[in-house]
């Protein structure tokens, strides 16, 4: 099993039993459904994906349903704490409580010279530049995220299916017709979920 990337909180998740979609929804509900499937068939191939990242979520199904959920909750809390640690550095005297985080930035002297000459100094100029870049690239960022998320899922569950490499090429080229053609013979649930994740990368809202 794969350990999911550390993030703050989780959105909805989707569980697969082999190539059949087993459950979808909040993590606790999906894990409960997967645990029930495991109890019915301990040899079942169960995978749980986080919808917003495509990450696999590591679950230990040994123990009672309550024990499985308790262990998962403890892991999620530890993961959240690890994510928060970089933000926990004490603020310097007089720093406003605006969620500002101090991090090291490495630039060339000419970059610092230009930043220090901007109204408000280097920090204000950097924040303004980042905000402008975020607004300008929101569409491209959305496409890139969809490519990454769908690629993670497809690599985990569809890597051995016919047309996988061609479907990946279509995904990153943004060709929905080619993507649909190369995934047409995949199991229905795998094909549907992959298409759902890939939507923004293929020009869909």
State pTM to two decimals.
Answer: 0.71
Task: Compute the average pLDDT of residues 86-100.
Answer: 54
Among 65-74, 77-86, 101-110, 145-154, the range with the most confident prediction by mean pLDDT is: 145-154
Average pLDDT, the chain: 84
**Nearest Cα to Cα of residue 47 among 154, 196, 205, 203:** 154
Look at the block and give the residue holding tokens 């606790």.
28
Which has the higher per-residue pLDDT, 103 or 137? Answer: 103
Task: Compute the average pLDDT of residues 81-110.
Answer: 64
Radius of gyration of the chain (CA): 22
Task: Compute the average pLDDT of residues 34-57.
Answer: 94
Query: How confident is the model over 42-52, as pLDDT tens digits?
Result: 999 999 999 99
Contacts 24+ apart (CB under 8 A), 110-119: none
Strand intervals (E) in the chain: 13-17, 20-25, 46-50
Q: What are phi and psi of 204, to 5 degrees?
A: -100, 155
For position 103, what pLDDT does the model report?
Answer: 76
Going by pLDDT thresholds of 50, 70 and 90, the confidence category of residue 126 is confident
For position 133, what pLDDT does the model report?
Answer: 62
């Amino acid at each position: 099993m794969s350990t999911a990337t550390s993030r703050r909180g989780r959105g909805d998740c989707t569980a697969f039993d082999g190539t059949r979609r087993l459950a979808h929804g909040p993590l606790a509900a999906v894990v409960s459904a997967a645990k029930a499937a495991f109890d019915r068939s301990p040899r079942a191939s169960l995978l749980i994906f986080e919808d917003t990242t495509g990450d696999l979520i590591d679950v230990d199904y040994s123990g009672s349903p309550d024990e499985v959920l308790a262990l998962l909750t403890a892991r999620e809390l530890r993961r959240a704490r690890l994510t928060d640690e970089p933000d926990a550095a004490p603020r310097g005297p007089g720093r406003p409580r605006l969620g500002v985080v101090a991090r090291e930035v490495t630039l060339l002297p000419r970059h610092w010279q230009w930043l220090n000459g901007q109204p408000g100094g280097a920090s204000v100029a950097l924040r303004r530049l980042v905000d402008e870049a975020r607004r300008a690239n929101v569409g491209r960022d959305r496409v890139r995220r969809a490519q990454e998320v769908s690629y993670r899922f497809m690599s985990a569950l569809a890597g051995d299916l016919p047309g996988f490499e061609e479907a990946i090429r279509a995904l990153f080229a943004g060709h929905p017709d080619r993507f649909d053609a190369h995934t047409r013979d995949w199991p229905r649930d795998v094909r549907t979920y992959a298409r759902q994740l890939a939507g923004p990368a293929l020009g869909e809202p």
